[in-house]
Amino acid sequence: MIRAESTHKGLWLTIARCLALIAVIAISVFVFSIRDQARQLAIYGYPGVFLLSILSNATIILPAPGIIFVFTMGAVFNPIGVAIAAGSGAALGELSGYLAGFSGQGMVEKVDLYHRIYNWMQDHHNLSYLFIFAMALIPNPLFDLAGMSAGAMKMPVSRFLFFCWLGKIAKMFLIAYAGASSLGKFFGD
């Protein structure tokens, strides 16, 4: 009886992982296909910044608008508000990488760098949250691999989101403030 329950749980976990992987691929393709129209969200203020940030961070591998948009919106709106909206949206968007890792990391299982990040996070489990924070803080294309590693490790999603959120808000503040400073001087504000 216990073996049947275990097999049943395993089947549902496999189904959940497959659905998560399909959702991540669909979101990435969708966001990539609307990347030019996404900039129009700026007319909606902070909610537009939030939504665009979710969309630009929900892609895996495929490029989407994001940092340049935050840089520009920092000159249009209050940089602190832009940072909070963009950082919060970015953290939620990064759940796609987390879910890809949870699904079994099939997309990157042959990527050496993924294995190095995953192994480091496993070996330094107590520091893995700080690693997520640092990777979210630094503009780099490797955050998806860190998010996938966190998902594969079954890091609690609440902790993943919290440390990702802290790093993304700090990063977005620096970018929005840089935009406010440089574009404000350029346009004579």
Q: What pLDDT does 181 receive?
A: 87
- To 5 degrees, how large is the angle CA 144–CA 145–CA 148? 85
| 8 A C-beta contact, residue 160 and residue 98 | yes
Rounded Cα gap, residues 148 and 47, in angstroms: 27
Range of the domain at 127: 2-186
Residue range 150-168: mean pLDDT, rounded: 94
Q: What pLDDT does 45 receive?
A: 86
Give the chain's domain count: 1
Rounded Cα gap, residues 11 and 32, in angstroms: 32
Dmax (CA) for the chain in angstroms is: 74
Of the two residues 161 and 13, the one the predictor is more confident about is 161
pLDDT-derived band at 162, boundaries 50, 70, 90: very high
Q: What pLDDT does 61 receive?
A: 59
Q: What pLDDT does 170 receive?
A: 97
Q: What is the pTM of this model?
A: 0.74
User: What single DSSP character describes residue 42?
Assistant: G
pLDDT-derived band at 179, boundaries 50, 70, 90: confident
